[in-house]
Chains A and B, each alone.
Chain A
């Protein structure tokens, strides 16, 4: 379970996240909201990329004291809106680049990489340079990097961005396998509400840095406040 408690992020005078609290108890949960709502800021705070107030923990293990690369070593994995794999490395080396920094012996690290390769349909890609991959294959590699070494938290920032519908469906199925392959609690940001409602049991909705709804995905999506935020209209006075 990922517990976010009173998370506040300020950029100068702008409050990007205003006292967000949420307990993500399901294996896969979503974060949605209009552009600029604070979704990626939330992920960057969990990654330790920016200063924040409040606490973030997984199964009562707080991560606040760890710097970004130590969070990865501890068990945090994430992808970015644009895939972040090194073009001049092979797919195998891109996976190995994470395994290199994880605790454990050399053979354990190798086993971690092999397990990730076996878990996803990427075994035919391992010796290809990343620059020769198409968008879907890059996203697959990114996903492979996120499941290496039995992570504790996996965060995917628009994992299906720029993909076609059929590829999105296939990647969605693979994302649903993450709880079977690892012990991780997974968080997903996406604009694709279909995808979110299909694979996320719980969803947090943000707007202007505030939490406007959190709970079971179907209920959240039916909430008039959420609809208002998405349609960009004022909440109807009740």
Chain B
């Protein structure tokens, strides 16, 4: 299987981040990068659905919440290793994604987007009503005061190691997506994007492959939610509001949906920019204004997002020298 230029650059970037980022980042910035990493993984799920299938999913962050909830529930209920809990979180969210997708699979465009948004709204209500498990009694497992400890993966107890763990998980997630792109599902998705008639004429079972895409996106959301739970030890319902799902999708458009750089930019805008503003004692809500301007910029001038513009600029420079 040939390795593309973009893949080489991505792997080099990941390696650089793996080695340097935990060393250079201090204090709360490690936590911010952990959270950014989780959103990179989640955004990759929306991005491939949008770029390859032309499907708009506005429920990704809510699905992250499902993964996070399952992760915390497993952690506080059983003594299982981190990875098993993470796998369960991914699998449950995958099935949850399917369940949501069932009514939506025969729909396209706006209707599909609306159904995912409704689901995100429903989950928002559930999360804010029942909150996230923190070691309490019963099914919902919430106790009013302090939270019980969260078990990190073996040998990955401190935050800098955990950041490296997340970077490795992101690379694995991207490889899973790339593997899909280069095999039968990726080709079937491309035909579905062209038109359903084209897909049928290619013998593609449209409902089956759409469900597969939803499942993969749900799995990525679930794993990223589980990793976020591991990074913070407890989760806040405000993180998973429906508006956050819309925000992540919009920033994915800003960053660009084709390729790794776009989702890295999207997650960095989503998490790092507000944190920087906090650091500089600027109101973090100012970032919303910047996001709006960036979205206008991307929609009017950059069909492949900022990452597309950066890549074009880079190739032009290389050609010149």
Contact = CB atoms under 8 A, between A and B. Distances in A.
A85 to B, nearest CB: 7
B187 A96 contact: yes
Interface string A44-56: 0001110000000
Contacts of A86: 187, 190-191, 193-194, 198
A89 B187 contact: yes
Nearest to A85: B194
Interface in A67-117: 68-70, 72-73, 77-80, 84-89, 93-94, 96-98, 100-102
B204 A97 contact: yes
Contacts of B202: 69, 72, 97-98, 101, 145
Interface string B116-147: 00000000000000000000000000000000
Interface in B197-243: 197-206
Contacts, number: 72
Given A85-B194, A86-B193, A86-B194, A100 B188 contact: yes
B184 interface: yes
B200 A72 contact: yes
Given A88-B190, A100-B187, A80 B203 contact: no
A141 to B, nearest CB: 12
B204 to A, nearest CB: 6
A68 B193 CA distance: 17
A191 to B, nearest CB: 21
A84 B194 contact: yes
B190 A97 contact: yes
B195 interface: yes
B190 A102 contact: no
B198 A69 contact: no
B283 to A, nearest CB: 41
Nearest to B199: A69
Interface of A: 47-49, 68-70, 72-73, 77-80, 84-89, 93-94, 96-98, 100-102, 145
The 9 closest A-B CB pairs, nearest first, are A101-B203, A84-B198, A72-B203, A68-B200, A86-B190, A97-B187, A100-B184, A98-B202, A86-B194
Interface of B: 51-52, 184, 187-188, 190-191, 193-195, 197-206
Given A70-B203, A79-B201, 7 more contacts: A47-B201, A49-B197, A78-B201, A84-B197, A97-B187, A97-B191, A97-B202
